[in-house]
């Protein structure tokens, strides 16, 4: 049964703005992907992350082909998925900006891959790139998990829904 408030359905040529709007109704977690080392270390806010396989342990991220992080990941052959807590919304906004975000003022340490792990992350997965795939305007990086970690205390995760960042509300 169709609701009166439902948007019209769209078939035929896909309008990118409508596709973005529809996909915005899928709640995702928010991550900062970090890669590189030394002065080349940088990061970018990403919600295009998913677990692929438990055996072998594989995850993937998607980076826009124009992303400042894409060539860094390609060169380093590794990346870290840093899961953000709701308290880290300012950090998510910093790394979402077009200008290069610096890790210099952030507390971080190297993973076994040499790539930076944000010390205050809600959790992290350090990955070695297994396969990059170019599709459309993005590159998909499948990575094998080489190291992972969780914080000692549980915090609310940062989520992205309908174009906005917020804390995940408890469901009762």
Architecture in CATH of 28-153: Roll (2.30)
Phi-psi region of 30 (alpha: psi -120 to 50; beta: other; left: phi over 0): beta
pLDDT tens digits for the chain (172 residues)?
Answer: 555 556 666 677 777 777 767 656 656 678 999 999 888 889 999 888 989 999 999 999 999 999 989 999 999 999 999 999 888 888 888 888 877 677 888 889 999 999 999 988 999 999 999 999 999 999 999 999 999 998 777 778 776 666 666 676 644 3
The torsion angles phi and psi of 116, rounded to 5 degrees, stand at: -75, 135
Residue 130: partners with Cβ closer than 8 Å, 6 or more residues away:
58, 142, 143, 144
Domain boundaries, the chain: 28-153
């Amino acid at each position: 049964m169709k609701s009166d408030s439902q948007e019209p359905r769209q078939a035929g040529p896909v309008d990118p703005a409508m596709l973005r709007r529809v996909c915005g109704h899928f709640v995702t977690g928010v991550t900062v992907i970090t890669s590189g080392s030394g002065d080349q270390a940088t990061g970018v806010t990403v919600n295009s992350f998913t677990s692929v396989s438990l055996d072998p342990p594989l995850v993937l991220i998607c980076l826009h082909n124009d992303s400042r992080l894409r060539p860094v990941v390609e060169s380093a052959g590794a990346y870290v998925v840093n899961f953000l807590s709701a308290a880290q919304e300012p950090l998510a906004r910093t790394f979402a900006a077009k200008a290069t975000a610096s890790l210099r003022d952030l507390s971080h340490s190297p993973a076994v891959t040499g790539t930076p792990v944000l010390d205050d992350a809600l959790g992290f997965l350090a990955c070695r790139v297994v396969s990059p795939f170019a599709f459309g305007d993005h590159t998909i990086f499948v990575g094998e998990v080489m190291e992972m970690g969780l914080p000692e205390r549980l915090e609310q995760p940062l989520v992205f829904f309908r174009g906005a960042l917020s804390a995940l509300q408890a469901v009762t």
